[in-house]
């Protein structure tokens, strides 16, 4: 008997209207796909507000990784045939057009930014007033976190740098439940809750 595939959506969690949202679950159920489309791409198209794609380490945000991350977005149809791909240039994300004849990509409309949490201290004076969504991919880690157990504080410092007390920017933490032990769960007092959680259908 073939097991029915589960496709995750963020409809229920969005109804809570929380500023910080933890999205955890097994691999390949569509968490990243849904959040990427709803809170990054469609959010930009609806509101004109940009997003930040956040990862832990600087080496995690190469142009190649970022462009592969967005490779499953149907840019051509989503943008009514105006653009045909998403590209990354100097840590900015663009709706772009790739020319097959020349092999060149033209970066046209800036829709977001790519940031590593390990470099957040260099962004304390930066302005992100055009951003209303931060998506922290792979926040659950089997290896090492920043500054031992102090990473949650660094994340909140970065979040406040972006939001600037506007109360507008939503943070989405997306992770696989490879391990249910994390400094975030401990810092926010939800370790025991997550440990008892069982997989559920969304």
pLDDT for position 48: 97
User: Number of folded domains in the chain?
Assistant: 1
Q: Residue 64 domain-assigned?
A: yes
pLDDT for position 112: 98
Look up tokens 């600037």; give the residue.
164
Range of the domain at 182: 25-196
pLDDT for position 3: 45
pLDDT for position 140: 85
pLDDT for position 111: 98
CA neighbor of 53 nearest in space, from 45, 124, 68 = 68
Q: Residue 15 domain-assigned?
A: no
The pLDDT > 70 percentage for the chain reads 90
Q: Residue 89 domain-assigned?
A: yes
pLDDT for position 148: 66
Burial class (CB in 10 A: 0-12, 13-18, 19+), 190: middle
pLDDT for position 2: 46
Q: Residue 40 domain-assigned?
A: yes
Q: Residue 2 domain-assigned?
A: no
Q: Residue 3 domain-assigned?
A: no
Task: State the pTM of this model.
Answer: 0.89
Residue-wise pLDDT for 44-54, tens only, equals 999 999 999 99
pLDDT for position 27: 74
Q: Residue 135 is inside which H or E element, if any?
A: strand 131-137
pLDDT for position 177: 67
Residue-wise pLDDT for 2-22, tens only, equals 444 457 788 888 899 999 999
Q: Residue 57 domain-assigned?
A: yes
Strands 104-116 and 92-99: antiparallel
- Upper half-sphere CA count for residue 74 (Cβ side, 13 Å): 3
pLDDT for position 178: 60
d(CA 122, CA 161): 11
d(CA 12, CA 17): 10
Q: Is the dihedral of CA 21, 27, 32, 35 positive or negative?
A: negative
Query: What residues of the chain score a pLDDT lower than 50?
Result: 1-5, 202
CATH number of domain containing 31: 3.40.50
List Cβ neighbours of 156 (8 Å cut-off, separation of 6 or more). Answer: none
Please provide the average confidence, as pLDDT, over all residues in the chain. 88
Strands 92-99 and 85-89: antiparallel
Q: Residue 140 domain-assigned?
A: yes
- Upper half-sphere CA count for residue 39 (Cβ side, 13 Å): 30
């Amino acid at each position: 008997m073939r097991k029915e595939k589960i496709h995750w959506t963020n409809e229920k969690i969005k109804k809570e209207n929380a500023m910080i949202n933890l999205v955890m679950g097994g691999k390949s159920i569509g968490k990243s796909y849904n959040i990427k489309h709803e809170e990054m791409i469609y959010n930009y198209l609806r509101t004109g507000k940009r997003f930040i794609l956040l990862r832990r380490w600087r080496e995690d945000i190469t142009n190649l990784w970022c462009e592969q991350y967005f490779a499953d977005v149907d840019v051509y149809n989503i943008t009514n045939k105006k653009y045909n791909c998403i590209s990354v240039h100097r840590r900015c994300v663009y709706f772009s057009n790739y020319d097959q004849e020349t092999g060149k990509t033209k970066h046209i409309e800036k829709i977001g930014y790519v940031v590593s949490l390990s470099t957040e201290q260099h962004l304390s004076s930066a302005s992100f007033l055009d951003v209303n969504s931060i998506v922290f991919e792979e926040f659950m880690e089997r290896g090492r976190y920043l500054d031992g157990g102090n990473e949650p504080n660094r994340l909140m410092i970065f979040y406040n740098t972006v939001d600037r007390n506007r109360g507008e920017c939503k943070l989405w933490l997306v992770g696989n439940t490879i391990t249910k032990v994390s400094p975030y769960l401990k810092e926010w007092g939800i370790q025991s809750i997550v440990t008892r959680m069982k997989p559920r259908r969304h």
